[in-house]
Amino acid sequence: NGGNSIPRLTSMSSNGAGELLDGDGPDRKKIKTSECVREGILLGYGNPLLDISVTGTQEFLDKYGLERDNAILAEDKHKPMYKDMVDTFGDKVEYVPGGATLNAIKVAQWLSGVPNATTFFGCINKDEFGKIMENKAREAGVNTKFQYTDKEPTGTCAVIVTEKYRSMCANLAAANCFTEEHLETPENWKLVEKAQYYYIAGFPLTVSPSTVIRIAKHAQASGKVFTMNLSAPFLCQFFKEPMLKTLPYVDILFGNETEAETFAKENNFGTTNIAEIALKIAELPKEDNKPRTVVITQGSNPTVVAKDGKTTEYPVIPIADKDIIDTNGAGDAFVGGFLAQLIQGKPVEECVKCGNYAANLIIQRSGCTYPETPDYK
Active-site amino acid positions: 332
The Cα angle at residue 358 between residues 354 and 361, in degrees rounded to 5? 135
Query: For residues 200 and 220, what is the distance between their CA atoms, to the nearest angstrom?
Result: 14
Distance CA 320, CA 355 (A): 19
Residue 71's CB is within 10 A of a number of other CB atoms, namely 13
Three-class secondary structure assignment of 338-351: HHHHHCCCCCHHHH
d(CA 304, CA 254): 10
How far apart CA 217 and CA 210 sit, in angstroms, is: 10
- The answer for residues whose C-beta is within 8 angstroms of residue 142's C-beta and 6 or more apart is 102, 105, 106, 109, 116, 118, 119, 120
Q: Are the CB atoms for 97 and 106 separated by under 8 Å?
A: yes
Closest CA to 207 of 245, 236, 175: 175
Q: Are 49 and 157 in contact (CB under 8 A)?
A: yes
Encoded amino acid at 268, one letter: N
What is the Cα–Cα distance from 275 to 334, expressed in whole angstroms?
Answer: 19
Distance CA 70, CA 66 (A): 8
Under DSSP, the state recorded for 301 is E
